[in-house]
Amino acid sequence: MKSFWARVFGSPYVRRVIGVLFVVSPVIVMRVVIGLLHLHQARAIGLAALDSALLSLLTYWFFVRRIERRPLSELAAAGAPRELALGLLMGALLFAAVLSILGVLGVYRYTGTGPAAVLIVPLMASVAAGIFEELLFRGLLFRLIESAAGSWLALLATAVIFGLIHLLNPHATLLGACSIMLEAGVLLAAAFLVTRRLWLPIGLHIAWNFTQGGIFGLVVSGTSASVGLFNGVLSGPIWLSGGEFGAEASVVAVIICLCAAVGFLAIAVRRRHILPAPWQRAA
């Protein structure tokens, strides 16, 4: 008979909780280091965030290969360049479409250009957020909930958690959190379901953030706006402009991203990538 600890750590749910701790720990260490060293320079903070995200990628690999003892299929090299490139393209186009509509409605106003060097910090921050958050939310939490409750409940639960976690951001609002649930939480989970790999959602996440903050210099999920390559301002009713939280809280962003998510989900269903809940499998 297995010992108590063997049974506990043999549970797939316990192992995935350990995986969450593995992936989150480098980011926690990074924040502690930034606090201890009193880092304020944007490039230093961006580099630290990027380093911690890459370390999270390494700890994720270690967790899957050494603790879960399975192939790292969600980060398989086959198809990775194509899926990552498609995600980057779609993320940029989706936000460009949002901003174009806001411009037509008079909510967005262009104010001028910045030097190319301003792209460095937003690029590091976007890559760091894209890697870390997709590993955590789609790579670990989604798979954990999916194994217990099926794909649809996993999509719903991770979307809600993803939105609520953004309440910790500066200038966070309930409108912003709900918008993130619907546009990013649903869209990124749907992107994962299309391929059952992380490259597409990672690309989407990186490009959406970078296009928003680096290219157009706008607020990203409530964080302070920086100088972008092309700068502008948002004004008008909060439900359209997003207010201090940024364009992600705009109804326009929600509608466009939900439309893209529905398209992804239709493909996932056609490919039979939707896993039923355990009680449905039993039936």
What pLDDT shows up at residue 225?
Answer: 66
What pLDDT shows up at residue 64?
Answer: 83
Q: Is residue 166 part of a domain?
A: yes
Averaged pLDDT for residues 5-15:
57
In the predicted structure, residue 222 carries a pLDDT above the cut 70: yes
What pLDDT shows up at residue 27?
Answer: 60
Q: Is residue 99 part of a domain?
A: yes
Helices marked H in the chain = 4-10, 12-37, 42-62, 80-104, 120-134, 143-149, 151-165, 174-180, 186-195, 199-210, 238-241, 251-270, 278-282
**What is the phi-psi region of residue 171: left when phi exceeds 0, alpha when psi lies from -120 to 50, beta otherwise?**
left
Q: Is residue 231 part of a domain?
A: yes
Q: For the chain, how many structural domains are there in total?
A: 1
Q: Is residue 212 part of a domain?
A: yes
What pLDDT shows up at residue 40?
Answer: 57
Q: Is residue 18 part of a domain?
A: no
On average, the pLDDT of the chain sits at 86
Q: Which amino acid is at 173?
A: T
Reported as a pLDDT band with limits 50, 70 and 90, residue 271 is very high
- pLDDT for 116-160, tens place per residue? 888 888 888 899 889 989 998 999 889 889 988 999 999 999 999
Residue 179 to residues 164, 227, 229, Cα–Cα distance (Å): 10, 24, 26
Q: Between 3 and 282, where is the model more confident?
A: 282
Q: Is residue 173 part of a domain?
A: yes
Averaged pLDDT for residues 64-90:
90
Averaged pLDDT for residues 242-255:
94
Q: Between 79 and 99, where is the model more confident?
A: 99
Q: Rounded to the nearest 10 degrees, how much is the dihedral formed by the CA atoms of 269, 275, 280, 281?
A: 120
Q: Is residue 207 part of a domain?
A: yes
Q: Is residue 167 part of a domain?
A: yes
Structural element, H or E, at residue 233: strand 230-234
Q: Enumerate residues 6+ apart whose C-beta is below 8 A from 69.
A: none
For 148, the domain range is: 78-282
Reported as a pLDDT band with limits 50, 70 and 90, residue 63 is confident
